[in-house]
Amino acid sequence: MVSLYSTGLELGNLLVGSDLLNHSWDAISKLQKDVDQNPSLPFSVKYQVHEYPPAKGSIIAFVCSPNCDVNQLQEEEFRELVSSDAITSFDFLCTKSNSSVSLHKAAFTLFASLENELSLLKQQFTSHQPLIVTGHSVGGSVASLFTLWLLDSLPRYGVQRLLCITFGSPLLGNNGFQKAISERSAWSSCFLHVVSDKDPIPGFLIPESDHNASAATLTTPTCYMPFGIYLFCSESGFSCFEEPQSILELLMIMSSRCAESQNPSNCSQVIDYGHILEHLRSKAICRGIVELPDSIGNPLQAGTYLLLEAAGVGKLQQEDVDMSYLATDIAKRAEVQAKHRQNIFDPSKKLSTLKKSMSYLEWYMKNSLEEAGYYDKYKLRRSRSRDEIESTEQLIKHHRTLKLFWKRMVVEVETMPWKEGRNLRKRWLYAGTNYRRMVEPLDIAEYYCRGKKDYTSHGRSEHYKLLEEWLTDENLHAYQRSQASSLTVDSCFWAYVEEAVISCEVLRDGPSSSQDQESARENLIKFEQYVVDMINNFLVSPEIFLPQSSFMRWWKEYCRVVGDSYTSTLSNFMKDDFRRYA
């Protein structure tokens, strides 16, 4: 638990002690001098590429025109968000479960004004060369957008060579935007936002009415939310925070103090982050010792208290800021965040368990190929010998293990961003298809043993449908076969057999309406054609022709219903050809 919070100070020390921040600010300063020479420039953003020799990489700096901070920040229009419908360049951020992604309109407009140029710039950088993207104020927002653009085009291993560092950047997007980035585990750590406690810009887009609200309540689609890692700087020192609600609360506190200590017109005053970085270096070498209040009761809260003190919040104790309460509150949130990370679904960790369960199902299937087959052996398990009952109990256990895994797997993939979800689907497509074809027949057997009907409409689990969609989307179900499949390709085959059995009962047993009987005849004709198509394309397993299988028992009953004189493609096949198929 202690390490959970010591990392905030350790990471701060690592960042301040490295040259990354200084090189980034130097690149910004050089570009800022060029921009400042023409103060009459319209609302715009400039960028410049610098070589970064120590790492054999590059730095791309973004800076806004001088009047961006002075004039544009005062206008109400500057606070507006633009919805996901209008930001097609970033539609990759939207998912099925998170479609309400909105961006700061001014930042997106600036980015869009350079999109063609930035598209060419993006093509120059590969995943093999380190790249820092940096920017100041709203230029930092544009830098973040460009970084997101790059991240979407990079392979997973390339993400490690990309870092975005902003200085005094305002918030960029809403709660949906923050969620979209946090859902991509490798992306959030690519963003570092340096914020001075004297800089009003980072908290500028938090409405005045929200400054008295709890940060936990600010999660509506219209509210701005932070993302990535924040390095808070003050005369007292520096510390890093990652939990978004805690960052928002600190931004609100600092923004309120800035508003009280200076006039709005002073927003045009550019904070010299170069001077701040030099000051931080000395603080990194010589840190003071903070006396903890008695109300701090555990190491978790103590670590948080030290982070707040280093961020400069301690100076606000006389201004209605209860440091002890704030430390406790933030500690609880970050503890929840840490537990959430521990529970993140990692399919690779379950791989050995899945192999064991699938191997058992394969063993059970091979030992079922006598009279009835895999499906019917499981369906008739209650009438078997003691040894067979024990093996079936093991099968039920492995069945449950596999089903729980794949249900969660499908949910996780479907809620992932499209690109990551598609990649994971491809990696697990074969395993998921094999699972569905082996396990769904067991579900069908249980369903009809309970006397139920119409499995495909009322009993089929959603995760089977989605696994089938994955296969269809990849167009791998359409390839031609030259011999019979060991597993029946359509995992719902036995459900159609059971419905055909029910239709035969309707025609055989009498007291049913003429409408029901006509419907039953139509269903049986459709089923016949379905079976013929499956056989012609070698899509059914030979086990369906075992003497005591449900399919063969249906066929015998169907022959009684239609009479000896009935002929069809299936009836001709079943006279003798089925033996050669089997």
Same domain (yes/no): 158, 243: yes
Under 8 Å CB-to-CB from 97, ≥6 apart: which residues? 414, 415
- Judge whether 309 lies within some domain: no
203 in helix, strand or coil?
coil
Query: Of 110, 176, 175, nearest to 144 (Cα)?
Result: 110
Q: Specify the pLDDT at position 283.
A: 62
Residues in the chain with pLDDT values less than 50:
1-6, 70-71, 264-268, 285-286, 288-289, 318
Helices 462-474, 386-415: inter-axial angle, 10-degree rounding: 60
With residue 59 as reference, give the H or E element that holds it: strand 57-64
- Judge whether 330 lies within some domain: no
Same domain (yes/no): 362, 437: yes
* Residue 323 half-sphere exposure toward CB, CA atoms < 13 A: 25
Reported in sequence order, the residue ranges of 114-257 that DSSP labels E, i.e. its strands, are: 131-136, 162-167, 173-174, 191-196, 224-225, 229-234, 237-241
Paired tokens of 404: 């729980």
| Domain end (from 424, 443, 475) | 475
Same domain (yes/no): 529, 470: no
Q: Specify the pLDDT at position 266.
A: 47
Residue bearing tokens 């009459």: 40
Q: Tell how strand 191-196 and strand 229-234 pair up.
A: parallel
Say how many C-beta atoms besides its own lie within 10 A of residue 351's C-beta. Answer: 11
- Judge whether 302 lies within some domain: no
Number of domains forming the structure of the chain: 3
Query: Of 380, 401, 251, nearest to 311 (Cα)?
Result: 251
- Judge whether 292 lies within some domain: no
Same domain (yes/no): 30, 173: yes
Same domain (yes/no): 462, 489: no
Q: Specify the pLDDT at position 551.
A: 95
Residue bearing tokens 């008295």: 212
Reported in sequence order, the residue ranges of 532-582 that DSSP labels E, i.e. its strands, are: none
CA distance 14 to 106: 33
- Judge whether 317 lies within some domain: no
CA distance 372 to 39: 86
Q: Is 454 left (phi over 0), alpha (psi -120 to 50) or beta?
A: left
| Domain end (from 441, 475, 509) | 475
Q: Are 204 and 132 in contact (CB under 8 A)?
A: no
Q: Specify the pLDDT at position 11.
A: 66
* Residue 308 half-sphere exposure toward CB, CA atoms < 13 A: 31
Same domain (yes/no): 459, 485: no
Same domain (yes/no): 487, 503: yes
Same domain (yes/no): 558, 442: no
Tell me which residue range forms the domain holding 576. 477-581
How far does CA 56 lie from the centroid of its chain? 33
Q: Are 164 and 91 in contact (CB under 8 A)?
A: no
Under 8 Å CB-to-CB from 272, ≥6 apart: which residues? none
Same domain (yes/no): 447, 502: no
pTM score: 0.65
Same domain (yes/no): 506, 426: no
| Domain end (from 271, 286, 301) | 286
Q: Specify the pLDDT at position 416.
A: 75
CA distance 545 to 555: 10
Same domain (yes/no): 442, 518: no
Q: Specify the pLDDT at position 6.
A: 44
- Judge whether 159 lies within some domain: yes
- Judge whether 338 lies within some domain: no
pLDDT digits (tens, 9 = 90+) for 282-334: 665 445 445 556 566 566 666 677 677 766 776 555 455 677 777 777 777 77
- Judge whether 310 lies within some domain: no
Same domain (yes/no): 470, 486: no
Q: Specify the pLDDT at position 2.
A: 37
